[in-house]
Chain A
């Protein structure tokens, strides 16, 4: 299956979400799930989660578990913050809410679009949508907050 053509803006700043996500996707949990960069704009990033048997949550239907969708949206909203402010700033997820509209269609890639709509000195406020091809027919909506930290790797 081919992904729809990305509708990307040129990086507006010193932070390149495509490079960052490519680095993140080569290892760790994101790599395990196969999450990769798809597109971005000034304050949003879209990542892709390809369908895989290892992600199945319901064996009878072949629908993927919701856990990987949380991971996809955590990543997409997180990277959207740095895209919005134009630089990397150490942060951690404070909270995340996910509303599941419908199951993702078995076999289809799920796209997660995260948007950072407000940042303050300490906080970043994000929202996002997961869909499997048609953003107007979403799989999930999310809202969350990130908090800036001094010591990211401490």
Chain B
């Protein structure tokens, strides 16, 4: 799939929660989507800073998007179920556009391990990272 097609497919499976938070695919990086949103009241925590939960939500969507894209078209029917997430906060998110990129560490038969990091002006200075575990299952036969 071309990057343009991948972006369209990621935008296609973004749920209402992601779109109402202003999430979009900013660009592709190494074949994986960089998800981003702008600062605004919907992501503000304490005045002047991103809400940790809003940041976690962005990271989670970027992890799911990375997993979906990595699984690819062949396994697009596979159901992915988040089992858990661990978020580490490194820096307060400021009133800037925020980016998040997920990376699949391993896809097994039943479990996928995915990491993601979020940054603002400098990708080398992450503001938060997550580890997520997903359960993979084939869709129930109709």
Chain A interface (Cβ < 8 Å from any Cβ of B): 27-32, 53-59, 64-68, 70-75, 92-100, 152-153
By DSSP majority rule, is chain B's interface helix, strand, loop, or mixed?
Answer: mixed
Chain B interface (Cβ < 8 Å from any Cβ of A): 15-18, 20-21, 41-48, 51-54, 56-58, 60-61, 81-89, 92
14 pairs, A vs B, C-beta closer than 8 Å: A28-B51, A32-B43, A54-B16, A57-B16, A58-B15, A59-B15, A65-B57, A67-B60, A70-B85, A71-B51, A71-B56, A74-B56, A93-B89, A95-B87
Determine whether the beta carbon of B52 is less than 8 Å from that of A66.
no
| Chain A residues whose C-beta falls within 8 Å of the C-beta of B46 in the assembled complex | 152-153
| Chain B residues whose C-beta falls within 8 Å of the C-beta of A27 in the assembled complex | 41, 44
A56 to B82 CA separation, bound complex (whole angstroms): 15
Using known A-B contacts A56-B16, A56-B17, determine if residue A92 contacts B89 with beta carbons closer than 8 Å.
Answer: yes
Determine whether the beta carbon of A92 is less than 8 Å from that of B56.
no
Nearest CB of A to B69, in Å: 18
Determine whether the beta carbon of B83 is less than 8 Å from that of A75.
no
Determine whether the beta carbon of B43 is less than 8 Å from that of A57.
no
Determine whether the beta carbon of A75 is less than 8 Å from that of B53.
yes
A97 to B53 CA separation, bound complex (whole angstroms): 12
Determine whether the beta carbon of B17 is less than 8 Å from that of A95.
no
Using known A-B contacts A54-B16, A95-B87, determine if residue A71 contacts B54 with beta carbons closer than 8 Å.
Answer: yes
